[in-house]
Amino acid sequence: MPIAYLDVPTGADLTTKRELVKALYEALHEVWPFPDDTRIFLREWPLDSVSQNGLLGSEPVRPVFIMHVPQDANVDAKRTMLKKVNAAVAEAYHVPDFVTFMHEHPLDRVAVDGGLLADDQQRVEDQAKVYS
């Protein structure tokens, strides 16, 4: 159940955003298919709200993609996913120097509705089958 945040410059139209989030979802879902609960938040920033190397409003803006994902996914699948994510963002925003941060979390550090996922034995077993 990946949760992802894409920080990008403003300017993409709704059609472009739809295509982008579909491509991002598909790339993430190939690596983390269980459960099917992938959330992607687009955070758009005007140039006057972005500093790069101490310069406010510098161009071109360099996007950042931050993912919170379950641990133990296949490393080759992650490599493929990262290439697809990079291609989707490059297609949508035409910007250089795209950076991704992947935060992997064990089930004992993720809670849903106030309960640790590690306490759900069926979830633990199901995830182990999918990601091993």
Q: How far is CA 28 from the centre of its chain?
A: 7
**pLDDT tens-digit series, residues 63-88:** 999 999 998 889 999 999 999 999 99
Tokens linked to 2: 């990946």
CB burial string 92-107: b at 16+ within 10 A, e below: bbeeeebebebeeeeb
> Tens digits of per-residue pLDDT, 10-40?
999 999 999 999 999 999 999 998 888 999 9
d(CA 39, CA 30): 14
pLDDT digits (tens, 9 = 90+) for 89-105: 999 998 877 899 999 99
Residue boundaries of the structural domains of the chain: 3-131
41-73 as b/e, with b when 16 or more CB fall inside 10 Å?
eeeeeeeeebeeeeeeeeeebbbbbbbbbbeeb
Query: How high is the pLDDT of residue 61?
Result: 81
Quote the pTM value: 0.90
* CATH level 3 topology of 3-131: Macrophage Migration Inhibitory Factor (3.30.429)
Alpha helices in 4-74 (DSSP H): 14-31
